[in-house]
Amino acid sequence: MSVSLPIAVDAMGGDFAPEPEVFGAIEAVDAGIGPVVLFGAEARVESVLGARGISRSAPGLEVVNADSVVTMDDHPAEVLRNKRDSSLALAFDSARAGRSGGVVSAGNSGAMMAFAVRTLGRLPGVDRPAIACPYPTKKGVAVLCDAGANTECRPLQLAQFGVMGAAYARLILGAKRPRVAVLSNGSEGVKGTALTREASEMLQGARTDAFDFAGYVEGRDVVEGEIDVVVTDGFTGNVTLKVIEGVGMAVTEILKGEVKKRTFAKAGALLMKPALLSMKARFDYAQYGGAPLVGVDGVAIVCHGGSPARAIRNAIRVARGFVNQKVGDEIVRVLRETGLGR
């Protein structure tokens, strides 16, 4: 077996950086999905490693110093000029130079998009890279693409989101023949907008074994689990994912309150606790390890700003999967096969 390239982790990106990033990297190495190279203020990174009794040159780990940090307030266009020495920029430089296999960051996702597209470029045939975000359904997990990278879209871009989301669903999430559908305001073909209708026609016309196109999916059915890849523009996608998260949490809270109201508080709480924890786990983004940026010529995993170590570890696992499964090659192949390339 050949030696794997390390996954580059932006140690300074998240809301609680660098602790979760460093601990996530340690967990990844322990889990056999290293090596990992950490980009960040080396004194701080070393100090966090030291708290676990680990040196910066421990097997499977590497630390590269970066003099600046991209903050959540930084504008994507500006960081491309002003933050060339940031942990995020250096992580992407390493991926571009072939010194790492992919980048994981819990930082500013707009800046990450910008660096990814600028540094790695797009895959041949891809018009706009997108965020493919996993979310929980009744039956397991599905993907929504685009989750927010492209607020306003053209039909071909939507069709490509379907191809790219399907590659992720098949090669990483284990959907054998992903069912792809376009999110719309009704299941009949006459519904939707010009955008959704044209994108549907394109996907309908695609001849491929890589996925099945199922037409429109309504909002009511996105969590049923019959569809593996929900295709939409980044505005609607962002709203949809956040509604799923908000309602999931709200319903869990409300039910907890109802049960407590109606039983001896202690008995009710005891009985509900495992069920609520299990429910919380389903809506816990940390288990999915971030959302891949699909369509760039390389691997980039966008993590939630508040990611704990476990989320970073899982994102490293997803990045490793993208490298090993050659998800990019599959996207290029299917875009060619279907004629949906740009």
193 touching a second copy, by CB under 8 A: yes
Measured between alpha carbons, how far is 142 from 155 in angstroms, rounded to an integer? 22
Measured between alpha carbons, how far is 212 from 233 in angstroms, rounded to an integer? 20
307 touching a second copy, by CB under 8 A: no
- Judged by CB under 8 A, the residue of 15, 30, 85, 253 near a second copy is 253
User: Nearest distance from residue 331's CB to a second copy, in Å?
Assistant: 24
Q: Is 282 exposed, middle or buried (0-12, 13-18, 19+ CB in 10 A)?
A: middle
User: Nearest distance from residue 147's CB to a second copy, in Å?
Assistant: 10
- Judged by CB under 8 A, the residue of 176, 207, 262, 266 near a second copy is 262
271 touching a second copy, by CB under 8 A: yes
Measured between alpha carbons, how far is 275 from 287 in angstroms, rounded to an integer? 17
User: Nearest distance from residue 49's CB to a second copy, in Å?
Assistant: 34
184 touching a second copy, by CB under 8 A: yes
Nearer to a second copy, 68 or 137 (CB): 137
Q: Which residue has the tokens 């685009």?
A: 146
Residues 106-145 that bind a second copy (CB under 8 A): 137-138
80 touching a second copy, by CB under 8 A: no
248 touching a second copy, by CB under 8 A: yes
- Judged by CB under 8 A, the residue of 236, 307, 314, 338 near a second copy is 236
Q: Which two tokens stand for residue 207?
A: 């001849």
Contacting residues toward a second copy, per CB under 8 A? 137-138, 148, 151-152, 183-186, 191-194, 218-224, 234-236, 238-248, 250-255, 258-259, 261-263, 268, 271-272, 274-276, 278-279, 282
